[in-house]
Amino acid sequence: MKKKITIAVDGHSSCGKSTMAKDLARAIGYIYVDSGAMYRCCTLFAMQNGIIAADGSINEEEFKRRMPEIQVSFKLNEDTGRPDTYLNGVCVEKDIRTMEVSAHVSPVAALPFVRAAMTAQQQAMGREGGIVMDGRDIGTAVFPDAEMKVFVTASDEIRAQRRYDELVAKGQQADFDEVLSNLRERDRIDSTREVAPLRQADDAIVLDNSHMTIPEQNQWLLKQFHKKTE
């Protein structure tokens, strides 16, 4: 049997990373992990426990103390055929995708003790290989030795339109300008933080999918996978 490799898919917010990473994992029989969902779980936990105040300020000392209580896991949803995110055993798939969580997640993901805890959980999930993980620092910090690294990007407006359409399709209230400014602000914080900032790994293959359909990008990714493993 062929050795199962580790695949890192990094890139900007809402560029379709998770869609392509999920589809690839399903096509090749690998595990898929959405590392952004893990940072969203930390944010939800902080919001639920009074660690983030209404003005967005974070009680870092309390957060650090309670960090060991946060366990994130994923379980396949038989109806959707996709993995759902669980925070301490409770399905939070819907709760972590709200605009409110999106508005607070980047400052949370910039905290070194949050990154250390999530990176350790991610590395434990990928110990055996056979994993596709998407995020911002997977190819640079979590799995710097990953056999295949992809860096995805697309224009700001196209990414905002995709996020907006996703929220509307889920029946959530959305304002395009708010979605666009949230996305730009997250990119700014994610790219300028001190620990594991969003950046392209030197050995990553770059994909600008601004003008690609989902089947086209899936085909491209599968071709890259076969190139790497043949």
Binding flag, residue 183, ligand DC (CB under 6 A): no
Would you list the DSSP string of 102-131?
HHHHHHHHT-HHHHHHHHHHHHHHTTTS-E
Within positions 141 to 180, which residues make up the interface with ligand DC, using CB under 6 A?
none
Residue 2 vs 156, nearer CB to ligand DC: 156
Binding piece for ligand DC, criterion CB under 6 A, among 45-53, 69-77, 80-88, 102-110:
102-110
The CB-of-110 to ligand DC minimum distance in angstroms stands at 7
Nearest to 109 by CA among 54, 188, 176: 188
| Structure token digits, residue 46 | 């902080």
Residue 15 vs 221, nearer CB to ligand DC: 15
Question: If DSSP codes are grouped into helix, strand and coil, which group holds residue 153?
Answer: strand
Angle subtended at Cα 33 by Cα 109 and Cα 218, rounded to the nearest 5 degrees: 115
Residue 162 vs 230, nearer CB to ligand DC: 162
The CB-of-108 to ligand DC minimum distance in angstroms stands at 8
Of these, 12, 40, 149, 159, which contacts ligand DC (CB under 6 A)?
40
Instruction: Count the residues of the shown chain that bind ligand DC, applying the rule CB under 6 A.
Output: 14
- Rounded to whole angstroms, the Cα distance separating 111 from 69 reads 16
With a CB cutoff of 8 Å and minimum separation 6, the contacts of 181 are: none
Nearest to 108 by CA among 66, 75, 146, 162: 66
The CB-of-138 to ligand DC minimum distance in angstroms stands at 6
- Rounded to whole angstroms, the Cα distance separating 163 from 20 reads 15
Binding flag, residue 140, ligand DC (CB under 6 A): no
Binding flag, residue 218, ligand DC (CB under 6 A): no
Binding flag, residue 106, ligand DC (CB under 6 A): yes
Nearest to 183 by CA among 169, 201, 200, 162: 162
Residues in contact with ligand DC by CB under 6 A are 13, 35-36, 39-40, 105-106, 109, 135-138, 186, 190
